[in-house]
Amino acid sequence: MLTLDQVRQTIEFFHSANQLDTTVAIARGCYNINSQNPEVLDLYAQTLFRAKRFQESLDMALRVLEMMPDNCDALFNAARCLHYTARAPEAEMLIRKVLKQKPHWLDAKLDLSLYLAVQGKHAESEKLLRTMLNENPGDQRVTFNLGWHDLQHGDFKKGMAGLAVGRNITVWGTREISLPYPKWDRTDPKGKTILLVDEGGDGDAIICARFAKLLKARGARVILIARDNLVSVFSRVEGVDQVMTKDEIQKKHTKIRIDGWIPGMDAPRYCDVDYDTLPSDPYITPDPKYLKKWKKIIGDGPELKVGIRWQGNPKFEHDQVRTIPASKLFQLAEIPNVKVFSLQRDDGVEALQGQTQITNLSSQLGNWEDAIAATACLDLVITSCTAIAHVAATQNIPTWVIVPIMPYYIWAQPGETSRWYQTVRIFRQTKYGSWDEPCWQVIQSLKKQMS
């Protein structure tokens, strides 16, 4: 029989290979053998956590905490699980208990700064981080977290530089981008061939495609390296000379002269833009064939056609703070002369059961081409912080985005408008865990528009 250390090593091996189901199965097997050993329970909880099965992880972490109520590691792990199940106030309480025992533990301080920020205690979070940076100059984790605060204060270049540091600690962009070319050295791009490489989630890839036009205007030949499900979409982006997948560029790299490449989420830094010079013109267009299909589906009735989405990809690690109760948006269907279409697909669609006033498009939203064409046929899109916001806004469609009290970095700067898009209106959560205020504002704003 394997020792517990050997089990940990085996789990680590499969985790490094991204075989998360296997890691959970191994930890569960160990738990089934010895379910009363707190070390075994802790291992199971941490394995579930790393597999992003946060509720299961929390259940196990709380069992560990019952066995060892004053143990710092148990308190620390339970706090993290509470945070990722949208229970930040309780997470803050536990992590403060940890810091009473270990006041200089940097990991605990970092987590406290996060738990404060997601509750809207931004000033307190930032003060803690700046104190930590003074005590730990150059710490990359602290610098990364301060990047969001710098963006909030309007210091775009400093904020983006701070976030970019996160690439070194695998919390920003794509963990590994392996290309047989050097990164662009940021010299004059005129006459050069530059790869713009998409990364992050699909929404991140769509956000960063805008920089192709800017690079093209500066004289570069731009090849956009895209994931398979966005190749056709990006082939129509202005400024893109060619679209290839990562596999294609790897196979053809000896036949193509490339002067440098840019990781997409760092494109604002490579292109040396600020909030005032950030490209915000529309750059995504629907495929004519899909547009024809969706015009028939949406119809041309006299009502205001409003698309809604309340939930994104549940695998996103902060999905718990951005998901809106669907019922909040369903109230839009009660406004006279408004026809509501659900843009929800996959997770979250079950909320539509029994809804007769809302048109469910989920079965017809097969890919991003469908989503782009569908939103192009709408008068307004109202969504939580999901990729649909970018799909709509990149087409200059009026887009209302409902964001959590600590929003994603592109929505960090305060106010109702966004420098990233021309047609976005932002509705901000004012109280952690409650969507009442921003959703009420959305409903009242639409009623006013329709009056």
At 318 the pLDDT is 77
Give the residue-averaged pLDDT of 2-21: 92
Give me the percent of the chain exceeding a pLDDT of 70: 100
Tell me the two tokens of residue 171: 């919390």
Instruction: For residue 391, name the pLDDT band (cuts at 50, 70, 90).
Output: very high
Is residue 158 located within the same domain as residue 13? Answer: yes
Residue 184 lies in a domain: no
**Predicted confidence (pLDDT) per residue in 323-354, tens digit:** 999 999 999 999 999 999 999 998 899 999 98
Tell me which residue range forms the domain holding 245.
Answer: 193-270
Is residue 363 located within the same domain as residue 229? Answer: no
Is residue 211 located within the same domain as residue 303? Answer: no
Instruction: For residue 175, name the pLDDT band (cuts at 50, 70, 90).
Output: low
**Predicted confidence (pLDDT) per residue in 266-294, tens digit:** 999 999 999 999 999 999 999 999 999 99
Is the pLDDT confidence value at 317 over 80? no
At 427 the pLDDT is 98
216 near 237, Cβ under 8 Å?
Answer: no
Is residue 16 located within the same domain as residue 57? Answer: yes
Is residue 204 located within the same domain as residue 321? Answer: no
Least confident window among 64-73, 367-376, 394-403, 425-434: 64-73
Residue 179 lies in a domain: no
| Domain C-terminal end among 212, 235, 270 | 270
At 17 the pLDDT is 92
Residue 260 lies in a domain: yes
41 near 58, Cβ under 8 Å?
Answer: no
Residue 239 lies in a domain: yes
Is residue 251 located within the same domain as residue 381? Answer: no
Is residue 310 located within the same domain as residue 430? Answer: yes
Is the pLDDT confidence value at 180 over 90? no
Is the pLDDT confidence value at 409 over 90? yes
Number of C-beta neighbours around residue 178 at 10 A: 6
Residue 299's contacts (CB-CB under 8 Å, 6 or more residues apart) are none
**Predicted confidence (pLDDT) per residue in 130-168, tens digit:** 999 999 999 999 999 999 999 999 999 999 999 999 999
Residue 173 lies in a domain: no
| Domain C-terminal end among 120, 147, 166 | 166
CA distance 289 to 373: 9
Is residue 202 located within the same domain as residue 110? Answer: no
At 176 the pLDDT is 66
**Predicted confidence (pLDDT) per residue in 104-133, tens digit:** 999 999 999 999 999 999 999 999 999 999
**Predicted confidence (pLDDT) per residue in 90-107, tens digit:** 999 999 999 999 999 999
CATH number of the CATH domain containing 398: 3.40.50.2000
234 near 240, Cβ under 8 Å?
Answer: yes
Is residue 315 located within the same domain as residue 429? Answer: yes
Is residue 198 located within the same domain as residue 240? Answer: yes
> If we measure between CA atoms, which residue out of 129, 115, 214, 160 comes closest to residue 410?
160
| Domain C-terminal end among 206, 239, 270 | 270
Instruction: For residue 315, name the pLDDT band (cuts at 50, 70, 90).
Output: confident
Residue 53 lies in a domain: yes
Is residue 259 located within the same domain as residue 293? Answer: no
Q: How many domains does the chain have?
A: 3
Residue 48 lies in a domain: yes
Residue 279 lies in a domain: no
CA distance 86 to 176: 29
CATH number of the CATH domain containing 148: 1.25.40.10
Is residue 29 located within the same domain as residue 99? Answer: yes
**CA–CA–CA angle 7, 10, 12 (5° rounding):** 110
Torsion, Cα 23 25 27 33, to 10 degrees, reads -160
**Predicted confidence (pLDDT) per residue in 215-266, tens digit:** 999 999 999 999 999 999 999 999 999 999 988 988 877 778 899 999 999 9
CA distance 372 to 394: 10
CA distance 233 to 285: 8
DSSP state string for 254-297: GGS---EEEEGGGHHHHTT--TTT---S------HHHHHHHHHH
